[in-house]
Amino acid sequence: MIRRRLRVLLLAEACNPEWVSVPLVGWSCSRALARVADTHLVTHIRNRPALIEAGLLEGADFTAIDSDRVAAPLHWLASKLRGGAGRGWTTVTAFRSLAYYYFERLVWKRFGSAIAQGRFDLVHRLTPLTPTAASPIAKHCARAGVPFVLGPLNGGLPWPGEFRESRKREGEWLSQFRGAHRWLPAYRSTRANARAILVGSMATWDQMPVVHRGKCIYVPENGIDVDRFAPPARRESCRPLRVAFIGRLVDYKNPDLVIEAIAPLLRDGIVELDVYGDGPLKERLKQLSAEAGAQSGVRLHGCLTHQELAHQLPQIDVLAFPSIREFGGAVVLEAMAMGVVPIVVDYGGPAELISDATGFRIPLTERNMIVSNLRRVIADIASNPAMLTPMREAGIERVSRWFTWEAKADQILQVYEWVTGGLVTKPDFGRPFVEERESVETSAPERVVSTWCMKSA
């Protein structure tokens, strides 16, 4: 017997194919889910022009909700309190979470009757990704007997104690009080009334109340668009080794540590560095390159589109990405998909994306030790670049197996079938416990849109 396609009301307040970060996650995942279920997308009105340009039909494929009556003044207030453009993202997230209450109120006003009448098999809140945003609609769905799926949720990674000054420079004063969101209205009822909670990282998993972990399923939020990041033809590394940093040039991503780490290798012509991205540290990177006498080995490309980046990546051997507070780290997936071997700090999302067979983790320590460890790893690779060949192949296979949007939609579909009674056993795609990471290749997956070139909001 062939089961009919499930009817899903998909809430993605942030969903835009023309933007990056969470809006692109909302778009990419919603399109993948539309291929495996009958979805109706509900999003914010700011996304309406881009969705229509992408070919979606308003009313049939999506509904745009205008919540700017509340969202606009809160956005204005957040912009005044964040401490400058591109800073204070915790502050911005906090005010967006407050605005989301009104968005869901309007969603229920528009779709409440349809949900209560059983015209949808389930409701799924795809975005916001942040666990700080509550979903009062979860209680309404429970009363109507319609399953509510929440997530993936990701966030709450603590600032490392070794980088307190970076936290100050990033304007992240509010992150010290982030736990206060647990006292916001509907925080508890959201989790209590959700039939399944998709959790996107170890840090978020550990924040989940123990009483609700039986409904939690590990599903990272990011994926790869295989049309944009198709694996290139195989090639061999040779000198000079091509190293890249990809991301916003901001304090916590530490692009300056990459130049400090490989300065001797740059001077000797053993390594070349390509920097893709823009931000307030750009002039600092130019200064460091000059002080190291390595200007000729460092190329600052500025921001590139995904298509431009995908064209550049096949020429790169290694991604050096010493970010110390990264929730997702989609750029790591993009690099692996293109055969680039990543080096990341063993903290947060990037460390959950790779295995020992596909990349390198360096310990989270103070700055000088990160520099020293990064230099050692890159020097070892430069002395034996052939070691990258099997790691490239393993990385491409890993991404194609677990991290395409199609693979992710298949996983979420299994969650849908579980909450609607089509599956008896809760799906389990694995969770990267620290003690299991060494054997990840024989187990289920570990832990996106890319924030590598996100403009300051």
- pLDDT tens digit string along 99-110? 999 999 999 999
Low-confidence ranges of the chain (pLDDT < 50): 432-457
Structural element, H or E, at residue 197: strand 196-199
Sheet containing 241-246, strands listed edge to edge, beginning at the edge strand earlier in sequence: 298-302, 271-276, 241-246, 318-321, 341-345, 360-362
pLDDT on residue 445: 32
Rg (CA), the chain: 22
CA 137 to chain centre: 25
Among residues 72, 74, 20, 77, the alpha carbon closest in space to that of 45 is found at 72
Pick the closest to residue 124 from 24, 34, 46 (CA basis).
34
Instruction: Determine if the pTM surpasses 0.75.
Output: yes
Cβ atoms of residues 133 and 74 within 8 Å: no
Q: How many residues does the chain have?
A: 457
Hey, what are 239's tokens?
């000198």
Alpha carbon 108 to its chain's center? 28
Q: Where are the alpha helices (DSSP H) in 313-364?
A: 330-337, 349-353
Phi/psi class of residue 406: alpha, beta or left (left: φ > 0; alpha: ψ in -120 to 50)? Answer: alpha
Position 163 scores a pLDDT of 86
The residue type found at 53 is: E
Is the bond leading into 152 cis (omega within 30 degrees of zero)? Answer: yes
Q: What is the pLDDT of residues 115-144, one digit of tens each?
A: 999 999 999 999 999 999 999 999 999 999
The torsion of the CA quartet 86, 91, 94, 96, rounded to 10 degrees, works out to -40
Residue 364, pLDDT score: 96
Nearest to 92 by CA among 76, 105, 106, 104: 76
Task: Tell me the C-alpha distance between 38 and 424, whole Å.
Answer: 22
Is the distance from CB of 123 to CB of 11 less than 8 angstroms?
yes
- Look at residue 434 in the predicted model and tell me its pLDDT: 37
